[in-house]
Amino acid sequence: MSQAADKADPARALPGARAEAIDRRLSRRIPLAQGIRRQTLVGWLFVVPALLFYAVFVLQPLALTVQYSLYRWDGFSPATWVGLANYASVLSEPKLLETLFNAFRLVLFFSLIPVTLGLVTASVVHRVATGRLGTVSRTVLFLPQVIPLVAAGIIWGRLLSLSGLINQGLTAIGLGDITRAWLGDFDTALPAVGIIGIWVLLGFCTVLLLTGMAKIDAGLYESARLDGAGWFQEFRAITVPSLRYEIGVCLTVTIIAALAAFDIVYVSTGGGPGNATAVPGIQIYILAFLERQVGLASALAVVLVILVLLVILPIQRLSREDAR
């Protein structure tokens, strides 16, 4: 009876062989587990320095900003707890609210126009400019992105001045009646700053979108042409849907540049004339360093961060879902 059971169950008949097989499997798993743990440890050794820098130079200042926003403080004397009073001031004072409205007006110039023009320009370059001509086109278009924003503000400040090259050109073609100090006029100061932003960000959007177009299957365009589709039909049905992720990245970068604008505005107009080009970045600088209202400046900074997140996170989510 026992022999029959052993034949029916080889594992019982050969307990030693089964134990050896288990030992071999364990011996293979142990080095594998040790290797995974070692790779994880090495990965953390590379990540920890970056995390420390991020914690010290990003998370800590952000936490201190939130803390300062709850106090009335001039930066020197003892701080006074005011709770949410600074936030109430940000959301009720017309001067501070105007800076937020100006920032959202810049989104049109810094984001929507560069992304739209970038799509059209990238499509034309991708379709027409190939080889060395395409390389030169990308370099020329991306060049403004390489120039420091301070230098761009200085250059455009001189171009848009009353005696600048733009007014001289308008006068030369008989449009001298419309010349003005573009950055010093209440009606044209903000659009003039927006034009500088378009010039700076158009190249970034174009090059990024060109990179995305290079990954689109050329067979899609050939099929569309065989069906009689024109350039606009190809652009609307193939190019734009295939670039949703890249468009999301462009919108994210350019909207942040608009809402957090400082360099170009500070160098070109300083927030003037009056408050025509005052944006949160400029107002935070004035409140904190000139008027010594650190708490109010911190509250405005926190509100700006919240607004940026409220605008950017939905765009990121939609672009990732579309990419999937």
Exposed, middle or buried by CB within 10 Å (0-12, 13-18, 19+), for 59?
exposed
CATH code of the region 88-323 = 1.10.3720.10
Q: Is the preceding peptide bond at 273 cis, omega within 30 degrees of 0? A: yes
CB 190 within 8 A of CB 107: no
**Per-residue pLDDT tens over the stretch 239-259:** 888 898 999 999 999 999 999
Structure confidence at residue 5 (pLDDT): 45
CB 84 within 8 A of CB 70: yes
What span, in angstroms and rounded, lies between the C-alpha atoms of 188 and 196?
Answer: 13
Structure confidence at residue 322 (pLDDT): 58
Structure confidence at residue 143 (pLDDT): 85
> CA–CA distance from 151 to each of 61, 146, 148, 268 (Å)?
28, 10, 5, 10
> Which tokens belong to 31?
């080095």
For each successive 10 residues of the chain (324 residues), what is the average pLDDT?
A: 47 53 56 66 85 92 94 91 94 93 94 93 81 77 85 91 92 90 92 94 91 86 83 86 91 94 92 91 94 94 94 87 60
Q: Is the preceding peptide bond at 49 cis, omega within 30 degrees of 0? A: no
Domains of the chain by residue range: 2-50, 88-323
Structure confidence at residue 8 (pLDDT): 47
Structure confidence at residue 189 (pLDDT): 94
